Amino acid sequence: MANQLLAFNNKCSNSLTCGLLNLNHAKAPTLQIEQDLIRRQLNILCVTEPYVTNGHVVGFTNKYTKIYSVGSLRAAIILNTNFSFVPIEISSDIIAINLTVNNINFIFISVYCSPSEDIVPILQQLENIIEVHQDSFISINGDFDAKSSAWDPNEQDERGNALLELVFRQDFDIGNDIYSAPTFDSLRGKSWIDLTLTKNISRELSCPPRCDSQRPQFNYL
């Protein structure tokens, strides 16, 4: 089960916590993450390959809203019910929502890029969303199944090259780097294909003594 957690802070006393998980359509980790959501006080969970029954995402406490496209879905967002949202894109592979916190607009995107399908159409969809929301604070979290030396110790592949071109065109910050722990680590091997990309958000190691700026920051949990 791949996982990555980070916190967005637009005020030191009020953080917006976000996680990224690939559940591999498995029931057991889904039951475990219900407890982790509460323990880690996560507000948003971007999920790829969720556990699905009869076309619906299964699990998660009623304190969270499940946002997904009914049917053959591969991406979802689990959102604390204390937050309201406006949907931007709700499809099998991309869930994008607009979330306003402390009068600041965030665009959160959960995305899944199947290793057996061309990554370019998904990247084009993402770029279309980004172009419309250029001035918003954007966080893209997903399983891209793409390799690049920018975030992966393995040799770059064509998918990684296509994703890196998008990162450069849209001036994204990559939350991962080659020194990050693998986002998937099991007896079957290791991988670094689950990524967090942010735009217009400063990355800081810790919250400063004062928060005078309206530019959000994020730190890993």
Running along the chain, 221 residues long, what does each successive block of 10 average in pLDDT? 49 65 80 74 89 88 91 90 94 95 89 96 97 93 91 87 96 82 64 84 44 39 39
Cβ proximity of 110 and 139 under 8 Å = no
Give the Cα separation of 195 and 158 in Å (integer).
16
Measured CA to CA in angstroms, residue 9 lies from 14, 109, 169, 203, 216 at distances of 7, 18, 26, 10, 5
Give the Cα separation of 18 and 141 in Å (integer).
9
In this predicted structure, what is the pLDDT of residue 65?
94
Measured CA to CA in angstroms, residue 178 lies from 8, 69, 134, 205 at distances of 22, 33, 27, 17
Measured CA to CA in angstroms, residue 57 lies from 48, 52, 76, 86 at distances of 11, 5, 8, 20
DSSP-based three-state secondary structure for 35: helix
In this predicted structure, what is the pLDDT of residue 210?
33
In the chain, the domains with their CATH numbers are: 5-144 (3.60.10.10)
In this predicted structure, what is the pLDDT of residue 166?
97
In this predicted structure, what is the pLDDT of residue 37?
76
| Start-end of H helices in the chain | 27-39, 120-132, 158-169
Query: Where do we find the tokens 């057991």?
Result: 28
Under DSSP, the state recorded for 27 is: H
Treating both helix axes as pointing N-terminal to C-terminal, what angle do 158-169 and 120-132 enclose, rounded to 10 degrees? 10
The residue among 56, 33, 55 whose CA lies nearest residue 46 is 33
Tokens of 93: 């592979």
In this predicted structure, what is the pLDDT of residue 208?
32
Cβ proximity of 195 and 142 under 8 Å = yes
In this predicted structure, what is the pLDDT of residue 32?
75
Give the Cα separation of 80 and 61 in Å (integer).
10
In this predicted structure, what is the pLDDT of residue 14?
53
Under DSSP, the state recorded for 163 is: H
